[in-house]
Amino acid sequence: MIPKTHRRVVLARRPAEEVAETDFRIEEAPVPAPGPREVLVRVIYLSLDPYMRGRMRDAASYAPPVGIGDVMTGGTVGEVVQSNHPGFRVGDIVEDRLGWQEYALGPGPALRWVDPSLAPISTANGVLGMPGMTAYFGLYEVGQPRAGETVVVSAASGAVGQIVGQLAKMAGCRAVGIAGGPRKCAFVRDTLGFDDCIDYKAQGDLAAAVKAACPGGVDVYFDNVGGVVSDAVFLNLNVWARVALCGSISQYNTTEPGPRLLGAFVGKRVTMRGFIVWDFSGKYGPALRQMGEWVRTGRITYKEDIVEGIENAPRAFIGLLRGDNFGKLQVKLGPDPSAR
Amino acid sequence: MIPKTHRRVVLARRPAEEVAETDFRIEEAPVPAPGPREVLVRVIYLSLDPYMRGRMRDAASYAPPVGIGDVMTGGTVGEVVQSNHPGFRVGDIVEDRLGWQEYALGPGPALRWVDPSLAPISTANGVLGMPGMTAYFGLYEVGQPRAGETVVVSAASGAVGQIVGQLAKMAGCRAVGIAGGPRKCAFVRDTLGFDDCIDYKAQGDLAAAVKAACPGGVDVYFDNVGGVVSDAVFLNLNVWARVALCGSISQYNTTEPGPRLLGAFVGKRVTMRGFIVWDFSGKYGPALRQMGEWVRTGRITYKEDIVEGIENAPRAFIGLLRGDNFGKLQVKLGPDPSAR
């Protein structure tokens, strides 16, 4: 039964530095009725991702900011529960960008049908969705790894990082992760099969730890974090190294200065390139097919961190920015009909 | 007449931060006699270039450091005054890497014959030599400018920068220089024909000055300096901008921290690439022919800053690191037989 009202999370105010729960507001709103050629989607999984911090800022970026009072933007996996569109049936599972809310009208701006027989549908927000594509294209197209090279990825147990290292192994590289705490590092090494993982929260000289884990230096650095972790990797880059700039989560809440390390990029001929997963959207098809096959056959594993209830989304997102999550963070907003 | 002794400049000690004259020592040494298949070269022009600061450091780099007591490395244009090599005649003009000394045995590690009928032979150390090639390949191959784009170059009146802006104009771009002081800026605008030039020594907000000079943003940044000047440009980069990292002279003597600006490179998809001119050595031939034609026909102009006497080389080099030179800095060690 479709309820009369549902809950949604809107941006209450723009955070100055650290995001607080009071920057969000949970609202009760009427469930909208689909118009002609519209569908009503019940959101099952809401993806929480670092890029959302940028949308809370009132600044020009590659995507417009969320307005004050507007529903927070976000990737979602949901179920069509009402359809006035001939292409959709009730029960269809769709991935779309429908935001932090329990119900939404579709089709939205990023619609994709999800086949629930291939893998758990939550993976459409993860390894078989935006984070997986980010890892795939960021590593293979931006990082350009060659067999025998050393690939380092920061936030190695996160949604993107966990895939990057496995893809690096597949390409014949040495894969070294950087993650926070012994539990995450053990997972990265033992479950994901990275060659090594550095605990950036451990005592000691981080640059020396990178050097110890990468005795031949670093050829590809897939950067999700920026800041002091990246500084330590930059000091260990090899000649002709490539840096794929995917994100800089350590800098989203703060603005502390750092050492100037770009000078060494000249002699080392480092290529550093920022990218957005959308840049490769024309190539998602074959990449998703390939990744789906690897997931199905167990060559790529993944870890999700699923929080229940939309009321917990703000707190979970704040934890994400601090690295509290362990694996791809999602909020489960309601029952998953495909779950076994 | 070939003298019995000559002067040379050796590295006396490694500077900690600022280079001092006492880091060098001027020695009197016997003029060597060429052995079989060797020539004796009288150095006429010694090129002074920022990269030499790196050679004074005892650190792994793209080239080995100069040893304590060894002759400082450096590009030279000279005249063959004695030849035991069938391929060389007395009077031949050669460009080579023979170091800070009045006489040297050749052929050295970077020999190139210079045709004195094409242009003043000093240009083999400048616009038709390493700095010219650096500008040519750094802009055209690394910067990848397209007609209509805006190219910014720092150290715009220097050996490389002055050529970069003119090459950018040739490619149909808006060329904006950054230089120190009104005299250099006027030269960059009025004589070299850049569209604008920003005085980084002037009062005020440098990022705002870049924005004013580049109302459409910056598409290509050719970086010779690093530090706060580059920070100001980074804040004005367009989506899909390219940064050609050529040098970071502002950081050679100091190590002050700076703001972390790489985070914005993600959404802007900035590509930043360090390069060394040698990387393109296989393509020097056609590039030098093209540049020679442009110089001959006056489409490219150049400015040299020539200091007389090897005893003044250390002081001139120290001035170069401070930006005191105005144009391509060279030291004239003796008479130029090709000068009109």
Q: What is the pLDDT of residues A70-112, one digit of tens each?
A: 999 999 999 999 999 999 999 999 999 999 999 999 998 889 9
d(CA B211, CA B81): 54
Taking a C-beta distance cutoff of 8 angstroms, is the pair B305, B325 a contact? yes
Q: Which one, of B302, B42, B326, lies nearest residue B166 by Cα?
A: B302
Taking a C-beta distance cutoff of 8 angstroms, is the pair A307, A329 a contact? yes
Query: What is the CA angle B153-B159-B163, rounded to 5?
Result: 55
**Residue matched to tokens 């167990």:** A298
Q: Tell me, what DSSP letter sits at residue B147? A: T
Residue type, A182: P
- Which residues of chain B make contact with A141, given a CB cutoff of 8 A? none
Structure tokens that stand for A81 in this block: 């529960």
- Predicted confidence at residue B80, as pLDDT, reads 97
For residue B28, the tally of other CB atoms under 10 A from its CB is 9
Q: Tell me, what DSSP letter sits at residue A141? A: I
Range(s) of chain B covered by CATH 3.40.50.720: 130-278
- Predicted confidence at residue B115, as pLDDT, reads 92
Q: Tell me, what DSSP letter sits at residue B218? A: E
Q: Check whether A298 has a pLDDT greater than 70.
A: yes
Strand positions, DSSP E, chain B: 5-11, 24-30, 39-47, 76-83, 93-96, 103-106, 112-113, 150-154, 174-179, 196-199, 218-223, 237-245, 271-274, 304-308, 328-332
d(CA A13, CA A26): 13
Fold of the B130-278 domain:
Rossmann fold (3.40.50)
- Predicted confidence at residue A340, as pLDDT, reads 61
Helix, strand, coil abundance in chain A, percent, nearest 5: 30, 25, 45
DSSP string, B53-95: HHHTS-S--SSPPPPTTSBPP--EEEEEEEE-STT--TT-EEE
- Which residues of chain A make contact with B63, given a CB cutoff of 8 A? 267
Q: What are phi and psi of B220, to 5 degrees?
A: -130, 130
Structure tokens that stand for B332 in this block: 């004239």
Average pLDDT over residues A121-147: 97
- Which residues of chain B make contact with A61, given a CB cutoff of 8 A? 267
Q: Check whether A34 has a pLDDT greater than 90.
A: yes
Q: Sign of the C-alpha dihedral, residues B276, B282, B287, B292?
A: positive
Structure tokens that stand for A50 in this block: 């670092």
d(CA A91, CA A209): 50
d(CA A193, CA B13): 49
pLDDT category of residue A61 using cuts at 50, 70 and 90: confident
Fold of the B5-126+304-332 domain:
Quinone Oxidoreductase; Chain A, domain 1 (3.90.180)
Q: Which one, of B122, B118, B99, lies nearest residue B41 by Cα?
A: B99
Neighbour-count burial of B155, counting CB atoms closer than 10 A to its CB (0-12 exposed, 13-18 middle, 19+ buried)? buried
Question: Comparing A16 with A160, which gets the higher pLDDT?
Answer: A160
d(CA A15, CA B182): 42
Was domain A132-278 assigned CATH 3.40.50.720? Answer: yes
ipTM of the complex as predicted: 0.91
Taking a C-beta distance cutoff of 8 angstroms, is the pair B61, A265 a contact? no
- Which residues of chain A make contact with B262, given a CB cutoff of 8 A? 226, 230, 245, 248, 272
- Predicted confidence at residue B131, as pLDDT, reads 97
Mean pLDDT (chain A, rounded) = 96
Q: Which one, of A156, A262, A33, lies nearest residue B273 by Cα?
A: A262
User: CB distance B61–A247 less than 8 Å?
Assistant: no
- Predicted confidence at residue B61, as pLDDT, reads 73
User: CB distance A266–B274 less than 8 Å?
Assistant: yes
Mean pLDDT split into 10-residue runs, chain B, 340 residues: 96 94 97 96 97 89 89 97 96 97 93 92 97 98 98 98 98 98 98 98 96 98 97 98 96 88 95 96 94 96 97 97 96 90
Q: Which one, of B53, B44, B55, B56, lies nearest residue B101 by Cα?
A: B44
Q: Which one, of B296, B311, B303, lies nearest residue B329 by Cα?
A: B303
Q: Check whether A137 has a pLDDT greater than 90.
A: yes
User: CB distance B271–A267 less than 8 Å?
Assistant: no
Structure tokens that stand for A138 in this block: 């960021």
- Predicted confidence at residue B340, as pLDDT, reads 61
Taking a C-beta distance cutoff of 8 angstroms, is the pair A243, A237 a contact? yes
Range(s) of chain A covered by CATH 3.40.50.720: 132-278
Average pLDDT over residues A277-288: 95
User: CB distance B248–A260 less than 8 Å?
Assistant: yes
Q: Check whether A288 has a pLDDT greater than 90.
A: yes
A44-48, A53-57, B238-242: least confidently modelled range? A53-57
Classify each residue of B189-209 as buried b or exposed e, where b means 16 or more C-beta atoms within 10 Å of its C-beta.
beebebbbbbbbeeeeebeeb
Global pTM value: 0.93
Least Cα separation, residue B154 to chain A (angstroms): 14
Range(s) of chain B covered by CATH 3.90.180.10: 5-126+304-332
Taking a C-beta distance cutoff of 8 angstroms, is the pair A200, A179 a contact? yes
User: CB distance A270–B273 less than 8 Å?
Assistant: yes
Structure tokens that stand for A148 in this block: 């025998």
Residues of A in CB contact (< 8 Å) with B are 54, 61-63, 226-227, 230, 239, 245-248, 251-252, 255-260, 262-263, 265-276, 279
Average pLDDT over residues A144-170: 98
User: CB distance A269–B267 less than 8 Å?
Assistant: no
Tell me which of B237, B253, B266 to substitute to probe the interface with A (most A C-beta atoms closer than 10 Å).
B266
Q: Check whether A158 has a pLDDT greater than 70.
A: yes
- Predicted confidence at residue B110, as pLDDT, reads 87
Pick from A258, A259, A265: which is nearest to B274 by CB? A265
